[in-house]
Amino acid sequence: ENYPPLPNYELYAYQRASGIFWILTDLEEVRNKDIEYVVVEEYFLRGYSTIPPDLLNFLKQKGTLLKSFYPYDGSEIQTEPVFDQMDAFYVPYSNFGGIKRPGPVIRIYELRE
């Protein structure tokens, strides 16, 4: 019931002016730093690729979706693929309809003031 442990995401920040990457420990740090972009992944493998509700709400309020990259043909899946939830390779073992390559959906957001 407590798997994966929350938060189940890592926040990495890059500050263009200084050229420095650092790891943030919670979403409040994103709010308090001069973060320009956020990249998230989401897919059917919920233990590996779920956007937590607090981060999703933050992106809806403060973010503009710039680009999405999909592992299937077009931007919509034709059938819901079946995965081994313990397998982090993002390759379904059934219902391949529309799957072009393994991997999660990647979305890039630009943060607004």
Beta bridge mates, 14: 21
**Per-residue confidence (pLDDT) for residue 61, from 0 to 100:** 92
DSSP symbols for 22-36: EEESSHHHHHHTT--
* Spans of the chain, pLDDT less than 70: 1-11, 25, 44-48, 74-79
Compute the distance between CA of residue 96 and CA of residue 99 in angstroms, rounded to an integer: 5
Residue ranges in the chain assigned as alpha helix (H): 27-32, 53-62
Residue 66 pLDDT: 94
pLDDT for 53 equals 82
Output the pLDDT for position 65: 95
Residue 97 has a pLDDT of 75
Q: How many whole angstroms from its chain centre is CA 18?
A: 25
Entry pTM? 0.72
- Give me the amino acid identity at 87: D
Q: What's the pLDDT at 30? A: 76
Tell me the C-alpha distance between 97 and 41, whole Å. 21
